[in-house]
Chains A and B, each alone.
Chain A
Amino acid sequence: MKTADVTKKVGKGGLGAEIRSLLASNIRDYAMYVALVIIFIVFTIATDRLFISPRNLVNLVNQTGYVAVLAIGMTLILIIRHIDLSVGFVAGFLGAVAAILLMRGWNVWLVIPVVLLCGIAVGVYQGLLVTRIKVPAFVTTLAGMFIFRGLLSWVTAGTGTIIVRDRTFLQLSNGYIPDLPWGQNVNFHLLTLLLGIAMVGIFILGQFKQRQDLKRYNFPTTSPVIFVGKLVFFSAVILAVTWIMASYRGLPWTAVIVAIVLLIYNFILNKTRLGRHIYAIGGNPEAAELSGIKVRNVTFLVFASMGLMSALAGILYTSRLASATPTAGLGFELDAIASSYIGGVSVGGGVGRVTNTIVGALVIMSLTNGMNLLGVDISFQYVVKGIIFVLAVAFDVITRSKAKV
């Protein structure tokens, strides 16, 4: 997780001034982390530490999985100033398709790619409507919401809830990565721990390399104290989470899947030409077009990717519940959009990072998880989520209008 660059070199003011300036320029990101920490503390106290028990944290990860992949796809959609309201029922419907195919005896390794392709097909259909016929995305995907809700209840009409029994498929959202052979002798999950340590190593190396690059081009860098503080803090968080996972049953497959998706999308957005084009379109579509970017094609691609992510979310959700239900997917779009906005996607488009979106998804799903533990009524949960959502966006609008541009 990288915090945004400090725009001004803070030379004379000392540490206090530097912290203030860091706060001012990264208030959005920090607010999100603070919110997450507060949510964790409040629920930990309210549930008498049940909330941070390894069992529940793993549960939280598995619950967050499907929302996280939807939110990653949604982040791209929102960056280019569109919206997709259909993702919930597309996920629900495709999850049901997976369940039905498995029920008919299809091999799981055939089912998964077929369902993912179906997701791309849905994205292609909506992308074509938006880019070729120029139906606004809001309308296209609102219609999609109805269509796929209808299709979902149609395919589940005869059977009602479809139970999934395929063990491999169920592993996706309920299983853990296998341990190394010599991990049997210790009372924790060795591979998980090693992965965690490797992650810390990669993180620290990456930060050092980034810092060196900044220095090489004479860009302002944070002072050593802040830099080391940041390294220690994030390393501690990664190690703590790793330890909790390792001392339980190891790293859930969901976490692995989300991590791979996150890595790919983060790479595309930050390193590739396509990523630059996505940000350019979000920042100023007319300027992007006149800079030779084929806005229509990029938009189409982003919708196709959203379809793919919806299919993946459907698979994860069906696996999680071990069944497909006629109401699966209800309200997922809200969770996905809220995660993106809480994660710092700008309402005006052009700004947003998938890494932060994941944290946004954690905020939303911690709320859900915590309130479920407390036995809060589902109707009241909607109200709370709605309020958090609108607060996040209001906060975003206020901080951005203050910062100007």
Chain B
Amino acid sequence: MSDYILEMRAITKEFPGVKALDNVSFQVRRGEIHCLVGENGAGKSTLMKVLSGVYPFGTFEGSILINGQPQQFRHVSDSEKQGIAIIYQELALFPELPIYENLFVGHEIMKGRIIDWKETKARAKGVLERVGLDLDPSMKIKDLGVGQRQLVEIAKALSRDAQILILDEPTAALNEDDSENLLNLLQELKGQGVTCILISHKLKEIVAVADTITVLRDGRVVTSLNARERKVTEQEIIKHMVGREIENIYPKRENVQIGDVLFEIKNWTVVDRTRNREILHNVNMQVRKGEIVGVAGLMGSGRTELALSIFGNVPGYQITSGELYLNGKQVQFRHPADAIKSGVAYVTEDRKLNGLVLIQDVKFNISLPALEKLVEGLVVNEHEEITMAEDYRRSFDIRTPSVKAKVGNLSGGNQQKASLAKWLFAEPSLLIMDEPTRGIDVGAKYEIYTLMNRLVAQGMSIIMISSELLEILGMSDRIYIMSEGTITGELDAQEATEEKIMAMATKTTEGVRE
């Protein structure tokens, strides 16, 4: 028997234009808790998808060995058979079904050709006990708390004799007690011989439970630290996560002139009514004229929710307290239309999902939020529209055969420029940009940054939400750091470092509660 229950050797996985994993080797000892850390986009999830067969054998280079035996997973079910179970951030449970059905779905206990419900319920009870849940197996998932659901997921994996349990951000949505409970369980399972791979951003938890810590950065393994031999500190992990040279991809800002306060929110608290959970707690924020304010934070820290709640689009959210000031005057946005009228624009995180109308052409998309500027009488003046769109095409260098080409046919970077043009046509004084350079290449990024600098030089203010620390550091005048729905820190560009931001972004707060 090999010392390692799992070995991944020299894994390279490429997507068009990007090397997501570059010669990654990763070994997991039997019965350990192995933590995998890295910034967003470092390659953690890709690595786990390679392991579980989401990316089938042959779509990547390198080999996977389980107990020393080479494996060729063509489908998730192949890796399941080898005892690998992944528990995702978005839980894969059926809320309307009882616990016992959820536990055995896909692996039903049969008596001949029909399901043996009696045996199912009996076994469910046993499996639940193993994860320390004292619940009636007939309860529906929707009636459980997030922490309990997480445990049911683990129970489900255990019921399938999982040998290697992969947990992707299991405590992201949990409160302190539930998180601790879950971590204790992992250690208990370790005692029973179950191996765990834990992906987490919460470094405090990692140093508490990890036997080994592997740090990924830009698709490569930076280091593998043995936490059993010596104590590993959070600072040490952070250093490995971010330790790289800042390449000069951020254009210089010239004659920065920062003016009066343009925008301010005070005590901004938002509740998600559908889940009855606070998603933003007591957020205070200020933006000055001509300023780029970076909002950093990990996924799920409430950045997008903050933007949407400011912009007046709150599907299922309720702003329970807080005031919004624009130019010193208190305002309320009930609909994005109100925000747009007051000069606020929001470039969404996912331009394909909710940013652009892909089946329509470039000019249609650009004119959409401020169409009234082109209306004469009743009629949209198409000549003016074309002239306007052509202007943006030239000044932003949107590469398209014509402004009558469908936006869906443009490349990511050009789509992003079109979304930017769309919002600038509305002449905002405050531009909120959510992940402004996600999924676009370096060249297009540089162009977007240059544009941003041009806009603030003209007196516009920008709130830039980003997961990329370098972008935050390279572009912002001031930085707010969010974690778990609260602002955990505010830094000036001069004093900010990646380490400081990371430390604040991974801080556990007692801000939002269930």
Residues of A whose CB lies within 8 Å of any CB of B are 5, 7-8, 213, 217-220, 271-273, 276-277, 279-280, 283-284, 286-294, 350-351, 404-405
In the bound assembly, the distance between CA atoms of A291 and B347 in angstroms comes to 10
Q: Say how far A108's CB is from chain B's closest CB, in angstroms.
A: 31
Are B358 and A405 neighbours in the complex by a CB distance under 8 Å? Answer: yes
Sorted nearest first, the 10 A-B pairs with minimum C-beta distance are: A405-B408, A283-B357, A286-B354, A292-B337, A292-B340, A291-B369, A284-B357, A291-B368, A271-B379, A292-B336
Residues of A within 8 A of B422 (CB): 291
Partner-A contacts on B (CB < 8 A): 311, 313, 335-337, 339-341, 346, 348, 353-360, 364, 367-369, 371-372, 375, 378-380, 382-383, 386, 390, 401-402, 404-406, 408-409, 422, 426
B335 cross-chain contacts in A, Cβ below 8 A: 292, 294
Which residues of A have CB within 8 Å of B405?
7
B368 to chain A: which residues have CB within 8 Å? 276, 280, 288, 291, 293
Cα-based distance from A290 to B348 in the complex (angstroms): 9
Contact B359 A283 (CB under 8 A): yes
Q: List 27 A-B contacts (CB under 8 A).
A: A5-B404, A213-B383, A219-B404, A271-B379, A276-B364, A276-B368, A279-B357, A279-B364, A284-B359, A287-B353, A287-B354, A289-B336, A289-B354, A290-B336, A290-B348, A290-B354, A291-B340, A291-B368, A292-B335, A292-B339, A292-B341, A292-B369, A292-B426, A350-B357, A405-B359, A405-B406, A405-B409
Q: Determine the chain A residues whose CB is within 8 A of the CB of B364 once the complex forms.
A: 276, 279-280
Contacts of A218 in B (CB 8 A): 402
Bound-state CA distance A182–B190 (Å) is 102
Is the Cβ of A219 less than 8 Å from the Cβ of B371? Answer: no
| New contact pairs (4) apart from A8-B401, A277-B371, A292-B337, CB-CB < 8 Å | A219-B402, A289-B336, A290-B311, A292-B340
> If A271-B379, A273-B371 touch, does A294 touch B357 (CB 8 Å cutoff)?
no
CA distance A212 to B207 in the complex (A): 71
Measured between beta carbons, the chain B residues less than 8 angstroms from A350 are: 357, 359-360
CA distance A279 to B363 in the complex (A): 13
A217 touches B390 (CB 8 A): yes
Report A-chain residues with C-beta under 8 Å of the C-beta of B359.
283-284, 350-351, 405
A293–B364 alpha-carbon span in the complex (Å): 14
**Complex CA–CA separation, A147 to B104 (angstroms):** 45
Nearest-Cβ distance from residue A78 to partner chain B, whole angstroms = 14
Contact pick for B356, options A271, A287, A404, CB 8 Å: A287
* Separation of A279 and B313 alpha carbons in the complex (Å): 20
CB distance from A117 to the nearest CB of B (A): 23
Closest beta carbon of chain B to A132's beta carbon, Å: 15
| Residue in contact with B358 in the complex, picked from A284, A290, A294, CB distance below 8 Å | A284
Shortest Cβ gap from A352 to chain B (Å): 11
Query: In whole angstroms, what is the CA distance A279 to B361 when docked?
Result: 11
**Pairwise interchain contact B408-A273, C-beta atoms closer than 8 A:** no
Chain A residue contacts of B336, Cβ below 8 A: 289-292
Q: Known contacts A7-B401, A213-B383; decide if A272 and B357 are in contact (CB<8 Å).
A: no
Kindly state the separation between the CA atoms of A221 and B368 in the bound complex, as whole angstroms: 26
Which of B346, B367, B402 touches A290 (beta carbons < 8 Å)? B346
B residues less than 8 Å from A291 (CB atoms): 336, 340, 368-369, 422
- A7-B405, A271-B379, A273-B372 are known contacts. Are A283 and B360 too (CB-CB below 8 A)? yes
Q: Complex formed: what's the CA distance from A198 to B136 in Å?
A: 79
Q: How far does the alpha carbon of A213 sit from the alpha carbon of B337 in the complex, in Å?
A: 32
Report the minimum CB–CB distance from B393 to chain A (whole Å): 11
- With both beta carbons as reference points, the residue of chain A lying nearest to B347 in the complex is identified as A290
Q: B303 to nearest A CB, angstroms?
A: 16
B215 to nearest A CB, angstroms? Answer: 37
Q: Which residue of B lies closest to A346 (CB)?
A: B359
Which chain B residues lie closer than 8 Å to A294 at the CB level? 335, 337
Q: How far is the CA of A288 from the CA of B359 in the complex (A)?
A: 13
User: Which partner residue on chain A sits nearest B408 by CB separation?
Assistant: A405
CA distance A18 to B356 in the complex (A): 31
Separation in Å of the A206 CB from the closest CB of chain B?
14
Q: How far is the CB of A393 from chain B (nearest CB, A)?
A: 17
From residue A167, how far is it (CB to closest CB) to chain B in Å? 36
Structural contact, A280 and B383, CB atoms closer than 8 A? no
- CB contacts (< 8 Å) of B354 on chain A: these are 284, 286-287, 289-290
Please, how many angstroms separate the alpha-carbon atoms of A8 and B401 in the complex?
A: 8
State A234–B355 Cα separation when bound (angstroms).
39
Residues on B with C-beta less than 8 A from A288 are: 357, 368
Most buried by B among A213, A220, A405: A405
Q: How far is the CA of A294 from the CA of B312 in the complex (A)?
A: 12
Q: Quick check: A289 and B360 within 8 Å, CB to CB?
A: no
Complex Cα gap A5–B386 (Å): 15
Query: Complex: how many Å from CA A7 to CA B361?
Result: 11
Minimum CB–CB distance from A118 to chain B (whole Å) comes to: 27
A280–B357 CB distance below 8 A: yes
CA distance A218 to B386 in the complex (A): 11
Q: Bound state CA distance, A279 and B401, in angstroms?
A: 22
Choice from B380, B401, B408 contacting A271 with Cβ under 8 Å:
B380
Once the chains are docked, how many angstroms separate the CA of A294 from the CA of B367? 16
